[in-house]
Amino acid sequence: MTATSASLPTYSTFLEDFTVDTMIARLDDHQDGCFNAFEACCGRHVRQGRGDVLALVQEDINGQTHTLTYAELDELSGKLAGWFKAQGLGEGDRIACMLPRSTALLVAVLATWRIGAVYQPLFTAFGPDAVDYRLGRADTKLVITDHANRFKFDGLSQCPPVLAVGGATGEHPNDHDWQTALTYTSMSDKPPRLAPEKPFLQMFTSGTVGKPKGVAVPLSGMTAFALYMELAVDLRDDDRFWNMADPGWAYGLYYAIAGPLLLGVTTHFCEAGFSAEGALAFMKRHHITNFAAAPTAYRLMKASGLFDDAHQTLELRAASSAGEPLNTEVVTWVEKSLGCPVMDHYGQTETGMTCNNHHSLDHPKHVGAMGVPMPGYRLAILDAEYNELPPGEPGVLAVDIKNSPAHFFQGYTWQEKDPFVNGYYLTGDVVIRNDDGSFQFAGRDDDIITTAGYRVGPTDVENSVMTHPAVAESAAVGQPDEIRGEIIKSYIVLRDGYEASEALADEIRQQVRERLSTHAFPRVIEFVDELPKTPSGKIQRFKLRAQATEQVRNDK
C-alpha cells in the first residue's frame, strides 16, 4: 500500500484542475443546476444508449441469480412511480423500505427518486422499536416491505400504508400488492428536477454512541458520491463491483447503490447474510474485481483462515474499507491473501466520505492512516477553542465548510445538538495529521483514554493487540483507576483454536508494551466471546467502558 504508481494523477495536479461544477455537469445533462436522482442514476444512462448495461446482479437466498439492466430498471421504476403518483405521493414525501438486498429494493429506491420523493432505508435486522423511532420522526408516507418483516409494523402508534412484496395476507388484508403496482401505467410526466439542497435520502446515523440522529441528504450530495467512487474506489466501467455493506445504512446505500449507479456501473447484491465461506464463493462465482466491506467483515474473513490462498483464484483488483479503523494487520493480510491493495476510507452518514486513501490518486498511502481529504474538501484539526492545530497534535476533525465545495451536510433533521461552530462542521472524531499530510484516526472523542496524563486513542492499542496471532478482534477502553485516572483495558475475542489463559494475556500485554509503548498497553485484559456492536457491525466501546467501570465499582 505504500507503493505509488507513476500513471496515477497526483493529488495536487488533480486539485488544480478540479471544480465541483464540472463534476455536476457530468452527472446531469440539463445544466440547469437542478437534479433528479433517478435521472442521474438511471434515466440518463438509458437515454444515452447504455440501457443494456447491467445495473444489478443479485443472488437470492437460494443461490439463484437475477439481473436488472438499466433499461429494465427504467421500465419497472416507471410503473411503480406511476402507482406512487396514483396514491397521491410526490415531492419530499418519505417512502421507507424494509427489504432484503433484492431487485425489488433497487426498483423501490429508483421509483421513489423518480417522483422526487425521499428514500428512507430500514435495515432488515431492525425490530419494531427501531422502526417506530424512525417512522414517527420522519412522518413516513408509505412503507414497502415483505412477509418476513411485516410484523415489525404491527404495533406502531401510526402505521403508514404498506406496499407488500408478496402481496397482502389474511392478517393484513388492506396492504397494497407489489405485483399489481408493477402493472401500473408508467409515470407519464418527467421526473421533477429539484434544487440541489432538496433531500433525496432520509438517513439515521448508526447510533454507535447514543440515539441515531436524523440526516436528510440533499441532492448535491450525489456529486461527492460520484467523486468518491471514481477517485477513492477507482470504480471502472468494466468492474464487477461488490460492496458488501447493507443498503439499510449509509455505506451500503451511498456506495452500493447511489455511487455505482451514478457512474453507470454494475453493482452486486448477495441476499444471504455474512459468512466467510459465502463471501469467498460469491466473489469467485461473480468474478468480483472491485470489493468493499466494513472492517468487521475483513476481520472475520481473516480469522476464518479460508482466504489465505484466495489470491490464486480471485480476480480482485481493488478493495476498500470504511466505517471503523482498518487495523494495520488486516491491511497487510488483504494484500497478501486477496492479492490486491485495500484502502481505508473515512466518512460519516452526515458527510459521506471525506478522507480517503484514494485508489486513483497518487499521494502518500500510509498504512494505518485514513488518507487525505477528498478533493472538494478542506479538513482541519481543532483544539478545544476551535483553533487549527499543526501536524502531530491530536484534535477534533472538522470540515472547513467555506473551503469545501463538495460538503453537503446541512444539520440534523431532529436533533437538538448543533454540530457547526465558527464555519466548521465538527465530526466528533479525534485525529492527528502525520508529517506526510495523511490523517490518522485516534478514536471518537468520547472513546479517547486518558491514562497518567497521556491521551491514548483506542485504535493504536487495538492495532497492536491485533498483531498477536491468537486475536480475532479487540476493543480498548479506559477503566477508572485511582492512580492513573484511567488504565487501558482490552477486551479480546480469540481465534478458534486458542484458549483464554492468564499466560496468553501476559504474552499479549508484553507484546503491546514492547511494540507500541510502555504507557499505552492494556494493563487489564478480558477475553470475551464477542464484542458489543451496532446492527451494522461497529464496536460500541461505550458499552464496554460502562461494563469496566461497573466492575471496578463492584470490586471495591
Which residue reads 461527492 in cell numbers?
A: 224
**Among residues 366 and 538, whose Cβ is nearest to ligand ATP?**
538
Helix boundaries (H) for 411-517: 458-466, 502-515
Assign 54 to helix, strand or coil. strand
User: Which amino acid is residue 220, in one-letter code?
Assistant: S
Alpha-carbon distance of 361 to 5, in angstroms, equals 9
Question: Which region among 31-39, 63-71, 208-216, 544-552 touches ligand ATP (by CB under 6 A)?
Answer: 208-216
Write out the binding residues for ligand ATP, residues 390-429 only, by CB under 6 A: 427, 429
Rg, C-alpha atoms of the chain = 23
Which residue reads 452486486 in cell numbers?
A: 268
Size of the site for ligand ATP (CB under 6 A): 25
The verdict on 538 binding ligand ATP (CB under 6 A) reads: yes
Give the one residue of 319, 331, 340, 370 binding ligand ATP; rule: CB under 6 A.
370
Alpha-carbon distance of 273 to 269, in angstroms, equals 11
Question: Which region among 110-118, 269-277, 319-327, 496-504 touches ligand ATP (by CB under 6 A)?
Answer: 319-327
Q: Which does 149 bind (CB under 5 to 8 A by kind): Mg ion, ligand ATP, none?
A: none
The verdict on 484 binding ligand ATP (CB under 6 A) reads: no
Nearest in space to 426 (alpha carbons), one of 397, 395, 459: 397
- Residue 234, all three cell numbers: 477507482
Which residue reads 502518500 in cell numbers?
A: 364
- Residue 134, all three cell numbers: 424512525
Eight-state DSSP code of residue 255: I
Least distance from ligand ATP to the Cβ atom of residue 249, Å: 6
The verdict on 119 binding ligand ATP (CB under 6 A) reads: no
Write out the binding residues for Mg ion, residues 168-207 only, by CB under 5 A: 205
**Among residues 424 and 441, whose Cβ is nearest to ligand ATP?**
441
User: Which amino acid is residue 381, in one-letter code?
Assistant: I
**Among residues 102 and 348, whose Cβ is nearest to ligand ATP?**
348
Q: Which does 160 bind (CB under 5 to 8 A by kind): ligand ATP, Mg ion, none?
A: none
**Among residues 198 and 213, whose Cβ is nearest to ligand ATP?**
213
- Residue 69, all three cell numbers: 439492466
Q: Which residues contact 191 (CB under 8 A, 6 or more apart)?
A: 36, 38, 39, 43, 81, 113, 114, 115, 116
Q: Are 80 and 106 in contact (CB under 8 A)?
A: no
Write out the binding residues for ligand ATP, residues 259-298 only, by CB under 6 A: none
The verdict on 447 binding ligand ATP (CB under 6 A) reads: no
Alpha-carbon distance of 83 to 105, in angstroms, equals 16
CB contact burial 184-206 (16+ within 10 A = b; e otherwise): beebeeebbbbeeebbbbbbbbb
The verdict on 240 binding ligand ATP (CB under 6 A) reads: no
Kindly write out the interface string for residues 495-514 of this chain, putting x where it contacts ligand ATP by CB under 6 A and - elsewhere. --------------------
**Among residues 191 and 352, whose Cβ is nearest to Mg ion?**
352
Alpha-carbon distance of 392 to 486, in angstroms, equals 23
**Among residues 191 and 347, whose Cβ is nearest to ligand ATP?**
347
**Among residues 92 and 532, whose Cβ is nearest to ligand ATP?**
532
User: Which amino acid is residue 210, in one-letter code?
Assistant: G
Give the one residue of 121, 191, 212, 376 binding ligand ATP; rule: CB under 6 A.
212
Question: Which region among 71-79, 203-211, 262-270, 308-316 touches ligand ATP (by CB under 6 A)?
Answer: 203-211
Least distance from Mg ion to the Cβ atom of residue 205, Å: 5
**Among residues 396 and 516, whose Cβ is nearest to Mg ion?**
396
Give the one residue of 28, 146, 324, 460 binding ligand ATP; rule: CB under 6 A.
324
Q: Which does 358 bind (CB under 5 to 8 A by kind): Mg ion, ligand ATP, none?
A: none
Q: Are 312 and 282 in contact (CB under 8 A)?
A: no
The verdict on 462 binding ligand ATP (CB under 6 A) reads: no
The order of strands in the sheet holding 290-293 is: 65-69, 54-59, 266-270, 240-243, 290-293, 318-322, 342-348, 352-356, 372-373
User: Which amino acid is residue 201, in one-letter code?
Assistant: L
Question: Which region among 70-78, 107-115, 310-318, 323-331 touches ligand ATP (by CB under 6 A)?
Answer: 323-331
Torsion of CA 130, 134, 139, 140, to 10 degrees: -80
The verdict on 349 binding ligand ATP (CB under 6 A) reads: yes
Least distance from ligand ATP to the Cβ atom of residue 417, Å: 11
Give the residues lining the site for Mg ion (CB under 5 A): 205
Give the residues lining the site for ligand ATP (CB under 6 A): 205-210, 212-213, 250, 322-325, 344-349, 370, 427, 429, 441, 444, 538
